[in-house]
Amino acid sequence: MIDAIIKDGFCIECGAKEEDGLSCWEQLGYLLAWEQNNPKLYALHFWTVSSYMLQHPSNFTKEGYALTKKLFCDAYDYNWETPYILKKNREVTTNKTFKIVTPIPVAERVRVLTKWDMTVNDVYVAGEKNAIENVLKWKKSIRNQFSS
């Protein structure tokens, strides 16, 4: 199970603010629910999930994080369409010699706070009607931080 740890109102890994009593993980759940009402938002599902996941590296093995980051950056840099992203994901994850998701139990994972310019909280607080615009900003923000 993937989960976030909130301390003093903030995620100890991504730094997202707790909002409406919801952790960043629970806020992500709202974004995923909003996708069900909006096909254009659903078309950004890869970006929503990978943006969240990349901000929580404790969910990955070292190799899994590097693979996910590379897929994200390549998809962004080359402006890949979703079907191609999914095809590439299948290619790089099939017959791999390492695990992508960490086998370490949730409670035992080491989490290191990273300062992100934008988190799931920014998308959540802006609301469902602004979600598409903000998911696009979020993915751009993450890509820019990986460049620096």
Q: Give the N- to C-terminal CA distance of the chain in Å, as an integer.
A: 31
Domain extent listing, the chain: 15-147
| Residue 65: per-residue pLDDT | 97
C-alpha 78/C-alpha 90 separation (Å) is: 18
SS3 43: coil
List the pLDDT tens digit at each of the 148 positions of the chain: 567 899 999 999 999 999 999 999 999 999 999 999 999 999 999 999 999 999 999 999 999 999 999 999 999 999 999 999 999 999 999 988 999 999 999 889 999 999 999 999 999 999 999 999 999 999 999 999 999 7
| Residue 2: per-residue pLDDT | 63
